Amino acid sequence: MPTVKVRNLKNKEVGEVTLSDAVFGVELNEALIHSAVMNYQANGRSGNSATKTRGNVSGSGRKLWKQKGTGRARIASLRSPLWKGGGNVHGPQPRDWSYQMPKKMRRGALRSALSERLREGNLIVIDEFGIKNPKTKEFLSTLGTLGLTQKGLTTKTLIVDSLDNANLILSARNVQKTKITNSFGLNIYDIVYHEKLVLSKAAVEELNNLLDPKRETGIVEPASVEEPKPEEKPKAKRAAKPKADKAEKDAAPVKAKGKAKAAPVEEEPVTETTPVEETAAEAAPAEESVVTDEAPAEETAPAASEEAAKDE
Average pLDDT estimate for 223-239: 58
Assigned domain for 133 exists:
yes
Task: State the average pLDDT over residues 160-164.
Answer: 89
Instruction: Give 147 or 242, the one with higher predicted confidence.
Output: 147
- Residues 226-252: what's their mean pLDDT? 58
In a domain, 65, yes or no: no
Please give the tally of structural domains in the chain: 1
Residue 70 lies in a domain: no
Q: What is the average pLDDT across 31-39?
A: 96
Residue 212: domain span: 3-43+97-217
pTM of the shown model: 0.62
For the chain, give the mean pLDDT: 79
Task: Please check whether residue 53 lies inside any domain of the structure.
Answer: no
Q: What is the per-residue pLDDT across 107-133, written as a single tens digit (0 to 9) for each? A: 999 999 999 999 999 999 999 888 888
Mean pLDDT within 233-256: 55
In a domain, 52, yes or no: no
Instruction: Tell me whether residue 48 is in a domain.
Output: no
Query: Residues of 35-58 as b/e, b for ≥16 C-beta within 10 angstroms?
Result: bbbebbeeeeeeeeeeeebbeebe
Please give the average per-residue pLDDT across 160-179, as a whole number: 90
What is the band of 62 on the pLDDT scale with cuts at 50, 70, 90? Answer: confident
The pLDDT of 149-174, averaged and rounded, is 88
Supply the pLDDT for residue 291: 43
- 32: in domain: yes
- Which pLDDT score is estimated for 256? 46
The reported pLDDT for the residue numbered 305 is 55
CA 242 to mean position of chain CA atoms:
40
Residues 6+ apart with CB under 8 A from 160: 181, 182, 183, 186, 197, 198, 199, 200, 203, 207
Listed range (10-24, 60-74, 94-108, 270-284) with the worst mean pLDDT: 270-284
Give the range with max mean pLDDT: 10-14, 41-45, 285-289: 41-45
The whole-number pLDDT of residue 151 equals 76
| CATH, residue 133 | 3.40.1370.10
Tell whether 248 is covered by a domain: no
Asked whether 129 and 165 are in contact (CB, 8 A), the reply is: yes
**Residue 251 pLDDT greater than 70, yes or no:** no
71 CB-near residues (< 8 Å, 6+ apart): none
Q: What is the mean pLDDT of residues 295-301?
A: 47
Question: Looking at per-residue confidence, does 287 or 100 come out higher?
Answer: 100
